[in-house]
Amino acid sequence: MRDVRIIVPVRNGGARWREAAAALECAVDDPGKVTVVDSESTDGSDSVARACGFRVHRVDVRTFNHGRTRQEAVDRFCATDRIVVFLTQDAILESAASLAALVGALAAPETGAAYGRQLPHERARPFEAHAALFNYRPVSETRTIEDAARIGIKAAFFSNSFAAYRVAALKRCGGFPAHLILGEDAYVAMRMLTMGWRIRYCADARARHSHAYSVAEEMRRYFDFGVMHAQIPELIERFGAPEGEGMRFVASELGYIARSAPWLLPEVLFRNAAKYGGYRLGRAYERLPRPWCRALSMTKGYWRAAPASGPTS
């Protein structure tokens, strides 16, 4: 994988980053092809990366932006690379074969990007386990723009927690946007699909990645999703509203919790009410005072840098 660059944004990754870094070190033949973009970690995360032989690039935590920071890393470190792989600090490769499988998913020249299967972390709570199992099925698939009519917004589903991009395709679609609160991966997937590229979901490329969010954290997370959907209205216009997929998720979650942890069934209702309420508030973020947006958001640093009138593309 000499023409492949792996980029991992890190900020105080803790024990999970140490585990993820060790798994990644075992998966690469040249650790120098891994670039860790460290946002001023204070827990030694940068030292963990250096001990693995990874290249460390430090950035000011105040300037971190999901899209811009990734694109700046691509521009700076991928000049001679054909493929760039993105991982998050808490995504732990299941095996060395997972990375090779993900890169191999871009073998077809018409495939612009691919993402791997995310499994719940060991000892994951039922809610986080279900979310991973619902979104990442065991069967691989290739999606095109025609699939929007069949599966709606799910056609543009993508995740930078474990993803690979053909650098040429990423450049042709304009790269990662700087104006979004998050969802830079879904934005690029949407752009690629509308430009005729294919998106590949590779179920054989597996990583452990899930989040144990509280109900309040779920609300804040979905507020950010609502902001993102308000910022890219063409996603909804072209691929459809997310409410249908949301209802399928709730029905699936109810069944999963009823089978695995029935005592948590009341929490399903509170949790999903909080998510929907947060999402609708996020969709209306331009009508909210900026301090409210910061308080409601999980990505609080974004509001420090965003213009008072709201982000523009």
* The pLDDT value given to residue 281: 98
Span 4-125+135-208 CATH architecture: Alpha-Beta Complex (3.90)
Those residues with Cβ within 8 angstroms of residue 221's Cβ, 6 or more apart along the chain or in another chain: 213, 275, 278, 298
Quick one: angle between helices 184-194 and 66-77, nearest 10? 70
* Beta bridge partner(s), residue 58: 38
R_g of the chain computed on alpha carbons: 19
- Please state, in angstroms and rounded to a whole number, the distance separating the CA atoms of residues 278 and 125: 22
140, with CB counted inside 10 A (0-12, 13-18, 19+), is middle
> Considering only CA atoms, which of 135, 130, 124, 128 is closest in space to residue 158?
135
pLDDT tens, residue by residue, 150-186? 999 999 999 999 999 999 999 999 999 999 999 999 9
Those residues with Cβ within 8 angstroms of residue 179's Cβ, 6 or more apart along the chain or in another chain: 67, 231, 311, 312, 313
* The pLDDT value given to residue 2: 79
DSSP annotation of 9: E
* The pLDDT value given to residue 306: 61
Q: In the predicted model, what is the mean pLDDT of residues 54-72?
A: 94
Q: For residue 313, is pLDDT > 70? A: no
- Could you tell me if 10 and 89 are in contact, meaning their C-beta atoms sit under 8 angstroms apart? yes
> Considering only CA atoms, which of 294, 308, 303, 301 is closest in space to residue 61?
301
- Could you tell me if 178 and 68 are in contact, meaning their C-beta atoms sit under 8 angstroms apart? yes
Phi-psi region of 30 (alpha: psi -120 to 50; beta: other; left: phi over 0): beta
pLDDT tens, residue by residue, 70-112? 999 999 999 999 999 999 999 999 999 999 999 999 999 999 9
**What is the CB neighbour count within 10 angstroms for residue 15?**
9
Q: In the predicted model, what is the mean pLDDT of residues 263-280?
A: 96
In the chain, what are the domain boundaries?
Answer: 4-125+135-208, 215-301
Work out the percent of the chain whose per-residue pLDDT is above 70. 97
Mean pLDDT of the chain: 94
Chain centre distance of CA 13? 16
Q: In the predicted model, what is the mean pLDDT of residues 223-249?
A: 94
The DSSP secondary structure of 107-148, one letter per residue, reads -STTEEEEEEEEEPPTT--HHHHHHHHHHS-SS-EEE-GGGH
* The pLDDT value given to residue 229: 97
What's the full length of the chain, in residues? 313
Longest distance between any two alpha carbons in the chain, whole Å? 54
